[in-house]
Structures are given as C-alpha cells and as structure tokens.
Structure 1
Amino acid sequence: MANSVGVDGYIHIEGFEKFEREAFDKKKIRAAMRKVGKLVRQKAQMNVGLARGQDSYPVNRSGALQDSINFKLSRSGFLVKVAPYLTSAMGKEFYPAYLHFGVRQGNALKPLAAGAGRGKSNRRARGERSKHVAARKANGWRIEPRANYMSDALQDAGSDVRAILSRAFADALG
C-alpha cells in the first residue's frame, strides 16, 4: 500500500499526442483499457480487503464496498474509470463518499421556524450562521475521512499500467 498524501488519480501516457484517434485500432486500445481497468480494480479491492482498517483505509465488514469497486470504459475506448459504484447492497446511501470525505460532528444548519427570524424574509441575525458553522467545525469528525484506496491502487499498479498501455498504443498504430 502506498502513501495517500498527494497521490494523483490520473495517468497520462506520453508519446502518442501527435496522432489522431482514428489512427489507432480501437479494438486493441479497448482491450488494453479493459485489462488495465481489471488490474486497478483488483488492486483497489485488495487494498480494502487486506488493510482491515490499517493505513486509515475503511474496514471491510460486509464486503459491499469491495464488491462495488468496478471499472467503466468510455464510449470512445480511450478512457477507463475505476471507482466504487452504488449497488443494491448499499441501499440508497452511497457511503464510499462518506468514507472518503468524512462527516462532521453536529447538526447541519436548518431553516428557521416561521417567525423566528428577522423581518419579512425570516432571516437569521447577523453572524449567527458563521457562529453555527464554526461551532460545527470545532466539534470534530463523526466519521473521519479515510485514505484514498483508489488512488493508491493506481499508484501501486502504475508501472504495469504504463507498460500495458504503451505496448497497446504502439501495436494499435501498426
């Protein structure tokens, strides 16, 4: 597992910018992108499954997060996106977002009751909103943000991804 600090979740393969997309055999590119998507997906699933909460990764309790990690190939075939997707096992709440961004302690700011504010528009007193937001930030985390296991998977498999895609782009030109 790699260090999550400052990891970029994007890889660019250099040397093929001067060619138009039509110059490549799309079947070979799509096959390579699917292969790369599977590789990164497996690394990400392994990061979640084997970490058991270490390195500030999420704890794998039911396996729903691990099963939700999948890849999608773009229509053109020149892009693959590996991410956790909403599944029926998760219900309506997409909790990978809660794990990644975290949840602050305290209540969200709700609208004022009728007649509780100032004037016709029922507005809060000056500075009340900022006081509430500052108090909420000071409370800490209800769910702390977790490490980005997806970016770590891409970083761990980065050299293999570059090799596969470079070979595929070179073969697809011919």
Structure 2
Amino acid sequence: MAKPLLHIDFEQPEELVFNRARMRRAFIKIGQVHMRDARRLVMSRGRSAAGENPAYVTGRLARSIGYYVPRASKNRAGLMVRIAPNQKRGEGNRLIEGDFYPAFLFYGVRRGATRKKKHHRGASGGSGWRIAPRNNYMVEVLENRRPWTKYVLSRELKKSLRPQRKKRR
C-alpha cells in the first residue's frame, strides 16, 4: 500500500520557544479524527464490489484501525502520527490475528493464486479474481481531510511558538 505523507519543515528563530507538548496534542487530535473517518468508511453493511470501500461483516477491519504518535528520541522529533489498520502500539485498535487481510482487500486475490503446473481461471471463465481489489480507504480519508489537517497543524504551530521569557536578575 502506498504511504501518503504530509511533511512540514520550519526553522526556529532563537528568540522563540517551541511548545512540543501542544504540537503532540494536535497530532493526537488529527489521529483520532482520521481514525474515526476511516472506520466510518468501512462500516457500511452488506457486500462490497470491486473498487468500493470494504464492507462491514465482522467488524475486525474497522476495530483494527488505530493511530500512533511516537515519543521523541535522539533520531526522531516525535512530531508525527501514523494511522493504519493493525497499527503496532496503536491507540484505539485491536490487532487482527492471523493473515493481514487488509492487504488482500487492497491488492486483491487472483483465482488459483497458488501456482501449479496448470493455473487457469477455470472452465467457467469469469474475471479471474477471487477477491477483486477494493478502494484504498486510508488514502481517501487523507485526501478528504487534507485541508483540515493543514489548517490544524499550521494553527497549532503558530500557537506553540511563543517569545522567550527574559531572565530576571
């Protein structure tokens, strides 16, 4: 699956102080909203066709979508959020046990995918797909929320940069 990315760089002037905790709270809020929207896209009941969002049958896919805001380390600033199904160390998710079937939904599965000497579509013909590829709902959420995400990040960045206090003597 393609990993959509939104990256913002800035240089911090020496006379300003950066409030990292405020920015982390903004990333947590963004993760929660994107997680909620992605879950809503896969909550339609019934069967899904090729190119549509996956349908809700057992709810495992919807419950597995989570977000993760990593802690800062010497190699990483910690100002990012990951939203994905089966997100390791994710907030608000339940891991999918067994095969990672969101990948099967995204890429699809061909009939006779296990290669043998004779791997044809079958005597009846058909499309050749056992499970046709579904829509990438995570990219759809990111595209739908892109203006809001940029607005929230720029607003919180402005609020988290403040003038440095002068030292008292």
Instruction: Using structure 1 for the length normalisation, give the TM-score.
Output: 0.69
**Structure 1 counterpart of 2:11:** 18
**Structure 1 counterpart of 2:4:** 9
**Structure 2 counterpart of 1:83:** 84
1:133-152 alignment, distance < 5 Å: 140-152=128-140
Q: Helix, strand or coil for the counterpart of 1:71?
A: strand
Following TM superposition, the consecutive aligned residue runs of length 4 or more in structure 1 with deviations greater than 4 angstroms are none
Q: 1:172 aligns with which of 135, 160, 168?
A: 160
Per-residue CA deviations over 1:9-66 (Å, capped at 9, x if unaligned) read 22234xx43339xx63210111000000011111101111147537611110111111
Distance 2:153 2:45 in 1: 28
Distance 1:78 1:173 in 2: 14
**Structure 2 counterpart of 1:105:** 111
Q: Does the Cα contact within 8 Å between 1:51 and 1:57 map onto a contact in 2?
A: no
Q: Does the Cα contact within 8 Å between 1:65 and 1:96 map onto a contact in 2?
A: yes
Distance 2:145 2:83 in 1: 13
Distance 1:30 1:70 in 2: 16
The amino acid that maps onto 2:145 is A
Per-residue CA deviations over 1:95-145 (Å, capped at 9, x if unaligned) read 1111111112114237xxxxxxxxxxxxxxxxx8xxx78x57x97221111
For residue 164 of structure 1, report the CA deviation from its aligned partner.
Answer: 0.8
More helix by share: 1
Pick the structure with greater CA Rg.
1
Per-residue CA deviations over 1:45-90 (Å, capped at 9, x if unaligned) read 11111475376111101111111111011223311000000745x4
Alignment of 1:46 onto 2:47:
no
The amino acid that maps onto 1:161 is T
**Structure 1 counterpart of 2:141:** 153
Instruction: Using structure 2 for the length normalisation, give the TM-score.
Output: 0.71
- RMSD, matched Cα: 3.0
What is the number of equivalent residue pairs in this alignment? Answer: 142
Q: Does the Cα contact within 8 Å between 1:43 and 1:157 map onto a contact in 2?
A: no
Distance 2:144 2:113 in 1: 38
Once the two structures are aligned, what percentage of the paired residues are identical? 31
Structure 1: any 5+ residue segments left out of the alignment? 1-6, 111-127
